[in-house]
Amino acid sequence: TTLEQLNLTLNLCGLRTVIRHINEVETGEKQLCQDLKEYFGSSYYIILNYWRQYEDEKTGEYTESGHFSLVGGYTLTKYQLLILDTQQPDFSHHWIDLKHLVLLMSKIDDESKKPRGYLIVNKKPDT
């Protein structure tokens, strides 16, 4: 699933989204900080799409893939973000350095040929 595909799915489910691709690390970092300050903790959710690699503790094999997870919190004093990992119970929720996360979100998605990034999601206003 690409960021664009998830964006479309959420729109079809009646949610409003803003898609942010991390085209360049420094400007992406500034934009993410601005979006966290503006949107986090209100009626908005932020879904991250980032590249991750890990070693399977049982087999010792390395896995590399794109991944989606929710932002659970952040602290700009420590410059960290809390990832609510969607692959429970294999991976626990964890804090990650914001600069490192932005670097992982700047990796190109092989399917879409675009950089990864994040979605800002909220409910469309009632009409």
Q: What is the pLDDT of residues 2-58, one digit of tens each?
A: 999 999 999 999 999 999 999 999 999 999 999 999 998 889 999 999 998 777 778
Which residues face 123 on adjacent strands?
15
Q: Is 4 exposed, middle or buried (0-12, 13-18, 19+ CB in 10 A)?
A: middle
Q: Please state the separation of Cα 30 from the chain's center in Å.
A: 15
In the chain, the number of structural domains is: 1
Structural domain that includes position 111: 3-123
Q: Whole-angstrom Cα distance, residue 118 to residue 35?
A: 10
The model's pLDDT over 84-98, given as tens digits with 9 standing for 90+, comes to 987 666 677 889 999
The pTM of the full predicted model, rounded to 2 decimals, is 0.88
User: What CATH number is attached to the domain comprising 20?
Assistant: 3.90.70.30
